[in-house]
Structure 1
């Protein structure tokens, strides 16, 4: 059984890699035949600063992919598929993960439904999809859980003009979520209560000891290429054991991946009210200017919120 699955996986990866290469070479050949200059590579990939804390969490793989992306579209797909083959990751319905060119998504096919049924993730040569692919490796169980729930919703409701509440929440998670790992309920209460001075100033020493953040949303990561003060993520609060902060980073990420994916697949209703807004540049250690308590006085960013609720 395992040998057959491995063979199917290898065939799928090889097909995806060849398809990506064919798309890139065909586009280049068409432009050359028309006397057109080759399309310039997106300069955005060179702008990734891997020293930033929001990118550093997956810098090792990301730097390899960055070099591939700067070489060309087909090279990026090949690098992603090589890692997918090695990791043996699956999507929401157990299909082996692979990355294909966006043009290979059949007309009229739903993006999430296609991923669930085939395992193939349509991927463009841009930062948005670069970071989306990265999350399939940083938090594979969470990505598979999101895909499973999205495709299940599609099975029930179909593709319509509106997504519906659950799909909206899942999309918001996928695009803009932060994982707020916390071993102290008073800290999560301060976050939900918009008590910024308490969370970021009075309890600043708690960061890294009793709470921390992982970036998940790929649209959020794309925005953080050029950070701005008002950049805000949707924090998903994860209660972690106290010993969590004694573990190394891979162990923490694996724990978060398991816990959050289980919650997404659990019986609880999923709504956007489950998130808490969190201005990313306010996280201690993530932005030099927030060393000054006055940084948090900007009420256009650090809003008072609905304290009474």
Structure 2
């Protein structure tokens, strides 16, 4: 999404205010069949005991895999994709062939002389993944806000950024020195820079990202309303219900949305639902009907009409075009 003054200049400025810290913490070499279960807080506690918010990312360096959170929906990612789980949590990651989940275990506890490598699977086609974490106090990563989906997959467009990311991935996969015993190396800027590029791509398609969306997450009137819509997009929200839940009048809520986000509350809700639907259509195998119900539409027909208005094609055609 672009603003009148160029490609997301305001978005770039607001992203620069986000402070991130983190590290690449292991490499994984999987062979089909594989499914592992991860409890990432254990890793975060070992590496950064003071981190109370965890952002996970997995870079697919080769092959293909899926990731699923508590809802069980599988989001697929291929070579060059970056999987982001902005609020941490338990998850499953697997390949094409079914396999019983196995708890992920690092070879040795930190600190490490070298970046550890996890090898798991049944000996089939190989998938290489670089796994890392970051943490941030920014409201964008506040689990109560749910400003982002619990998991999303991003492919950086061709250009200098994607070339730089690919080169950085190659380095991370091959490098065994310097040692992870060094705090300066452990706090490498690679995860921070990578996630910022991924966020820039993902947020450029968010509703009103160039009109103060990140600022709205900190607004005392808008933040509670956004948290409700983000947390329960399937609910049939009305302006009256949102205003009552945020303890303001309907006119105050509507005025604040229009001042900061340049659209009405219901218009924002429609755009948010379409964004979530687009993610689900692009990265999962849910049917159109299932996607419709997850984003608040009682019928597939109503959802298809709304999606076509917003995206220019019915959901099934849009999904086909995405490959």
Do the two structures share a fold, i.e. TM-score over 0.5? Answer: no
Report TM bin, short chain: under 0.3
> When you count helix as a share of all residues, which structure comes out higher?
1
Q: TM-score, normalised by structure 2?
A: 0.26
Q: Larger % of strand: which?
A: 2
Relative contact order higher in (CA < 8 Å, ≥ 6 apart): 2
